[in-house]
A and B are shown apart, each in its own frame.
Chain A
Amino acid sequence: MKKQKKKNEFLYFTLRNRKLQIGLSIILFFLGLAIFAPVLARNEPFAYVNLRGAQPPSSEYWFGTTFFGQDVFAQFVLGLRATFLVGAIGGGLGTLIGVLVGFTAGYRGGIVDELLNMLTNIVLVIPTLAVLLIIAAYLEVRSIFTECIFIGLTAWPWAARAIRAQTFSLRTRDFVDLAKMSGMKPLKIIFTEIAPNMMSYLVMTFILQFGGAILNAATLDFIGLGPTNAVSLGLMMQYAVLWGSLLLGHWWWFIPPGAAITAIVGALYVMNVGLDEVFNPKLREM
C-alpha cells in the first residue's frame, strides 16, 4: 500500500516536472527520427543523387544536398541512429563498469578499495580522447560498435568514483548491518539493499554517460577517426569542413548535425536536473 503511494508520488512529480517534459520530448522526437530513418530517408546516404551538386533545402531535398550532391537529410536521420547507438552502448558500458567498480570498491573497502581507487584515479587523469585517438589511429577498419566499446571502456572512472562514495555512505547504515547479520550474501546486499537506495543516482549517471559518449564520438568522428563504414553526425561535420562548406556558404550541410547533437545532449542534461528535482524534494522550485 505504502509502496504504491510512493510510486504514484514519483510519477506525479515526474509528469509534472517541466524540465523532464521538455527534455523527454526532445529526446523522443529525435529518437523517432532515428527509428524511422529508413522510411524517412528517400535516398542512400552516400549516393550522388543531385547532379547539380550542393543545393539549399528544397521540397525534394529537405536539408539540401552536399558538395557532391548527396542527400543531407538522409545522412542526418541515419547519422542520428549512430548517435543514439553510441549513447546507449557506449554510455551503458561506461555506467556498467562504473557501477561494478564503484560497488566493489565502496562495499568491500580495505585493500580492494585502495587498489580500485588507485586505478580509478589513474584512468581519471588520462584524457579519454587521447587514448581513444591513439587506439583508433591504429585500427584499420572501424565500426560504430568498436567505437562504442572503446568509448565505454574509457568513460567509467568518474561514475565509479561517484558510486563508490555513495556506496561507502550507505554501507554503514543500520539496514545494511541488519542484512549482514541475517546472513545475506554480499552480492545480494548490494543489489537488494544498496542499489535500490541509489537508483536515482544510477539513472542520472547513465544519462550523463549517454551524453558524454555522444560528445566523445562526435569529437572522434570529426578528427577523422570515426567509423569507416557508416554515417554519423560527427562525420557529416568533418566532411562539411573538409569540403569547404564554410567558404562556399553551404550552411545546410553543417548546421543540422551539430544542432541535433546539441539538442540531444542538452535535453539529456535538462532531464538530469529534472530527475534530480523529482528525487530530491529540497531542490523543487515551489
Chain B
Amino acid sequence: MQRYFSRKLIIYALTFFLAVTIDWMIPRFMPGDPIRNMLTRVSVSSNPSAIQMMYDYYTHLFGLDLPLWQQYLNFWNSLLHGDIGISTYLFPTPVTDVLWRAVPYDIFLLVPAILLSWYAGNKFGAFAARSKWLDNTISPLGYILTATPYMWLGILLAWFFGIVWGIFPIAGAYSFNMQPHLSWAFIGSIFHHWFLPFASLFLVGFGGWAIGMRNMIIYELEADYSHYLEALGAPRKLIRQYAFRNGILPQITGLALQLGVIVAGALVTEVVFSYPGIGYLLLAAIQNQDYFLIQGCFLFIIIGVLLSNFIIDIVYVLVDPRTRRGMTGESA
C-alpha cells in the first residue's frame, strides 16, 4: 500500500511540476509578443511614450527583463506565496481572489454531477447488460448521450426548458434581482439555476458510465469464474453480483481518467448557462486577453484534477483489497 501511494504521489508531484513549467513556458516561448499584443488590442492610448511606459511596466511585472532561470525561480516563489498575478480584466483584483470566488460554484456543480452520474450510470449499465429489452433501449441512448458534445446538450436543454417551456432560467447562478443571503427564497433560486447545467453534465456522463458498465458486465459474465459458478449451479443473481464487483474497479480507474474530460465539459456548460464558475471566467479572460487569469484558471484546474485523482486513489485502496495487501492490483 505504501508503495502504491508513494508511486502515485511522485506522479502527482511531477505532474504539478510539469504543469507549472508549462504555465511558465508558454507565454515566454510562444511566437509573438503577448505584452505587445495585449497593449495593441486594448489600445489604451495612441501616445507612443505612454505605450512604451506600459510596455516597460508589464515587462517588469512579468519579470521578463531578468535571465530565464531567475524568471523561473521567481515564478515558483510567487506561486508558493499564492501570488499568480493581477487580473487585467477585473483590475485590480488578484487572480487568486477572482478564482476563489468562482470555485464554490464549480464544486457545487461538478461534485454532484460526477458522483450521481457515475452511480446511476453503473447501476443502469449493470442492469441493462444481457437483458435483451433493456439493452436495446438503454445502449443506443447511452451511445447518443456519451457522443453528445457537452455544450450542445446544454444549448438544447436551455432552449427547451428555458425558452420554449420557460420553466428554468438559462443564465446566472441565482436570480438577477437577488443579493446573496441566507433565505429559503435564495437557496431555491440557487437550485433553480443549478438544475439545467447539472442536468446536462449528468446526462452526458450517465451515458458513458452506463455503456462502460454494460460492456464490463458482459466481459465478466464470460470470464472463467462466472462459468464455473454457473456450472456449480449458483443463482444468476449471485453471479451478476460478483461480475458487478469486478466491473466496478475499472470504472473507478475510468473515473480518474475521465476527470479531465468532465472538467472540460463543465467549462463549456458554464459558458452556455453563464454560470459563474471557472469556465465562465475563462471565457471572459480569453475574450479580454487577460493572460494572468487564463494561466490562473489553468493552474486551478490542474490542482483540482490532481486532488480529485488522489481522492479516487484512496477510494480505490478501500475498494480493492489487493492494493492493501501490497499486491499491485492497479499498476501505478
Contacts and interface: CB of A to CB of B under 8 A. Distances in A.
Given A262-B152, A269-B143, A125 B37 contact: no
A122 B302 contact: no
Nearest to B152: A258
Nearest to A128: B260
Nearest to B254: A158
A137 interface: yes
Interface in B12-32: 12, 14-15, 18-19, 22-23, 26-27, 30-32
A124 B279 CA distance: 21
Contacts of B153: 258
A138 B25 CA distance: 11
Contact of A246 (B155, B257, B298): B155
A267 to B, nearest CB: 8
Interface stretch (B109-117, B157-165, B184-192, B241-249): B157-165
B263 interface: yes
A82 interface: no
Contact of A125 (B143, B162, B211, B305): B305
Interface residues of B, number: 63
Interface stretch (B90-98, B172-180, B283-291, B314-322): B283-291
Contacts of A27: none
Contact of A134 (B259, B261, B295, B305): B295
B151 A237 contact: yes
A264 B147 CA distance: 8
B15 A122 contact: yes
Interface string B228-269: 000000000000000000000000000001011101110110
Given A126-B260, A127-B302, A266-B144, A246 B152 contact: no
Contacts of A118: 11, 14
A183 interface: no
A140 B297 CA distance: 20
Q: Is the interface of B mostly helix, strand, loop or mixed?
A: helix
Interface in B293-314: 294-295, 297-298, 301-302, 305-306, 309
Q: Is the interface of A mostly helix, strand, loop or mixed?
A: helix
B148 interface: yes
A270 interface: yes
Contacts of A251: 159
A139 interface: yes
B40 to A, nearest CB: 11
A127 B149 contact: no
A93 to B, nearest CB: 18
Given A128-B260, A223-B267, A283-B218, A249 B149 contact: no
Interface of B: 11-12, 14-15, 18-19, 22-23, 26-27, 30-32, 34, 37, 143-144, 146-153, 155-156, 158-159, 162-163, 170, 211, 215, 218, 222, 257, 259-261, 263-265, 267-268, 271-272, 279, 282-283, 286-287, 291, 294-295, 297-298, 301-302, 305-306, 309, 332
Given A128-B264, A139-B32, 9 more contacts: A124-B257, A126-B18, A133-B282, A224-B286, A246-B162, A247-B163, A258-B149, A258-B151, A266-B147
> Nearest 8 A-B pairs (CB), nearest first?
A258-B152, A127-B260, A266-B147, A129-B264, A265-B147, A138-B30, A130-B301, A218-B149
